[in-house]
Amino acid sequence: MRVDVAVLRRDFPIFEAQPAPFHYLDSAATAQICRPALEALCRFEGKARANVKRGVYRLAEAATRAFEEARRQVARLLGGVDPAEVVFTAGTTLALNLAAHGLSPRLGPGRRVLVSVLEHHSNLVPWQLACARTGAELVAVPATADGRLDHEALERLLDSRVAVVALTHASNVTGAVSDVARVARAVRAVGAVLVVDGAQRIPHGPVDVRRLGCDLYAFSGHKAYGATGAGVLWGRRELLEPFPPFLGGGEMITRVTLAHSSYREPPHRFEAGTPPIGPVLALGAAARWMMAQDWQALRAHEEALTRRLLAGLAAMRDVRILGPTDVGERIGVVAFTLESHHPHDICQLLDERGVCTRGGHHCAQPLMDHFGIEASVRASLAPYNDEADVDALLEGLETVRRILG
Amino acid sequence: MSARLYHEAILAEARRGEGAGRLEAPERVVERDNPLCGDRIRLEVQLRDGRVVALRHTTRGCLLTRAAASLLARLAPGRTPAELAELDRRLEHWLAGAGEVPDEALALFAPVREVSSRHDCVRLPFMAAAALAREEAS
């Protein structure tokens, strides 16, 4: 079925608020919030605000119920997992730091952590820190020339020394989607744990994490049509169970004396203090919105736009596309360089035409090194984009070339 | 606004690239990165009696950074590192909308004042120069 973008945009208040021209092509950084998520956030903060998990009055009980309902909605988005396996965090970064902390007891001298060259800094730096703390060795898995995970190289690196493999599901630069199921089988064969950064993949449709076969999966609400401030770490119950506490505080304990504390079961053990309740409720509403969409149609829509964008860029002189050109292997996240023009100069001039893109290293400096560049321009698509957005970008680039020479 | 940002004077200054290159035997070297985009500048400086007598830069950056580096190369000779640090401080204030332009040569950056995300692009060379003074102080 064809996607009617005008109808779909009614679900996104930003399109009523922003003056034309408005071509939002930075959803990989932050997607626009969908109306149900915004309403859930506003309803809670304005009409139903109370803390969760403690109060006995009706308002607090309702807040707790809504909070746990959000957990159930996220569990559905992840393929119908056990809601107790869904840990709410402040975002992907905190989720991956929690993963690195929780898996640290498995690390030590002689043990290895594999990370790919494709990783966002948030799925690299926590592992650098964990390795420095424990004496484990961090080993890089290379990428292919067109910015995909080198699956063969990864499989060659897998042996009994490997304790953790941490990979992005989809690159925030090249858009390449890794074959996580294939990786998971190989990782399981050596008894290691597979941590997946799903921040870029989740906004492109629900993910069945059990079917993928990974052990931990992280993502952010604000990239998945929710509010900023909430994210998720999903983990297999048997894996989360022995994780040591991460942040200490209220809500995560069973009993505290001056000398000692005992801790609750997951997920509450990892949700110290007052959680970001409004953003979590928004995330739950966004997950429900996502589950109501026809992702087969949206995927076809995204592929058509990605094809149009890739073809338009490929037809331009001195444009270098960073990523696979086969739309079947990628999401609609397209990074490129234009001659030797600096990405910030390009993005600034595109903004003049209402085209919102991202320029920089995209928090993926090792991948920039892989391509032999410092930075790139990135256009990222979401269901609410249309042909006019892609064309505005392509026409804008011609203007950039004219101005910058 | 953006098109105005890239007016002819800024484009020309960036292309001019005054002071681009290396000194044969620099007395002082500082490097500064812009964490936002990975841009980098390396300053090589020769001092006499505490004042800059020669400055060269290797700049990997956007047009604004390159134009600013070119201007720094013109403004630095004769100044002390402390005076360059003061120039950076005043440049920061002026970009933020306060005070007078610290030197008429920098007035071409006036349109950048409206675009706060690009202030550090202009300041990067001057922040590197200010680091010379901090090194002296320590």
Tell me, yes or no, if A369 comes closer than 8 A to chain B by beta carbon: no
What's the CATH class of domain A38-291?
A: alpha beta
Active site residue A363: yes
**Is A374 in contact with B3 (Cβ distance < 8 A)?**
no
Name the one residue in this structure whose structure tokens are 């680039």: A397
**Is A403 in contact with B6 (Cβ distance < 8 A)?**
yes
- The answer to whether B129 touches B102, Cβ cutoff 8 Å, is no
- The answer to whether A112 touches A162, Cβ cutoff 8 Å, is yes
Q: How far is B94 from chain A (nearest CA, A)?
A: 21
ipTM here: 0.87
Distance CA A295, CA B51 (A): 66
Residue A172 CB burial class (10 angstroms; 0-12, 13-18, ≥19): buried
Distance CA A169, CA A120 (A): 11
- Ordered structural domains, chain B, with CATH: 2-137 (3.90.1010.10)
Of all residues in chain B, the one with the smallest CA distance to A405 is: B11
Distance CA A300, CA A308 (A): 12
Write out chain B residues lying below 8 Å of A374, CB-based: 37-40, 60
Kindly give, in sequence order, each residue whose CB lies less than 8 Å from that of residue A280, ignoring residues fewer than 6 positions away. A67, A70, A88, A221, A230
* Dihedral (Cα; A147, A169, A316, A343), 10-degree rounding: -90
pLDDT values of chain A reduced to their tens digit, one per residue, 405 residues: 789 999 999 999 999 999 999 999 999 999 999 999 999 999 999 999 999 998 899 999 999 999 999 999 999 999 999 999 999 999 999 999 999 999 999 999 999 999 999 999 999 999 999 999 999 999 999 999 999 999 999 999 999 999 999 999 999 999 999 999 999 999 999 999 999 999 999 999 999 999 999 999 999 999 999 999 999 999 999 999 999 999 999 989 999 999 999 999 999 999 999 999 999 999 999 999 999 999 999 999 999 999 999 999 999 999 999 999 999 889 999 999 998 899 999 999 999 999 999 999 999 999 999 999 999 999 999 999 999 999 999 999 999 999 988
- Note the CATH architecture for domain A5-30+294-404: Alpha-Beta Complex (3.90)
> CB-hemisphere CA count at 13 Å for A354?
12
DSSP character for A98? H
Distance CA A358, CA B113 (A): 20
Helix residue ranges per DSSP H, chain B: 2-5, 8-16, 63-75, 81-95, 119-137
**Is A360 in contact with B37 (Cβ distance < 8 A)?**
yes
Q: Containing H/E element for A394?
A: helix A387-404
**Is A360 in contact with B36 (Cβ distance < 8 A)?**
yes
> Which of B5, B60, B61 is facing A348, going by the closest CB pair?
B5
Which of B:53-92 have CB within 8 Å of A? 60-64
Q: How far is B80 from chain A (nearest CA, A)?
A: 32
Tell me, yes or no, if B38 comes closer than 8 A to chain A by beta carbon: yes
Answer whether A5-30+294-404 and A38-291 agree in fold.
Answer: no
> Which of A342, A351, A403 is facing B61, going by the closest CB pair?
A342
Helix residue ranges per DSSP H, A164-294: 180-189, 209-212, 237-240, 277-291
Q: Letter for the amino acid at A72?
A: R
Give me A284's structure tokens: 């739950």
Give the start-to-end residue ranges of the domains of chain A.
5-30+294-404, 38-291
Tell me, yes or no, if A352 comes closer than 8 A to chain B by beta carbon: yes
Give me A379's structure tokens: 């256009």
- The answer to whether A362 touches A185, Cβ cutoff 8 Å, is no
> Which of A360, A375, A403 is facing B3, going by the closest CB pair?
A403
Q: Containing H/E element for B47?
A: strand B39-48
Tell me, yes or no, if A228 comes closer than 8 A to chain B by beta carbon: no
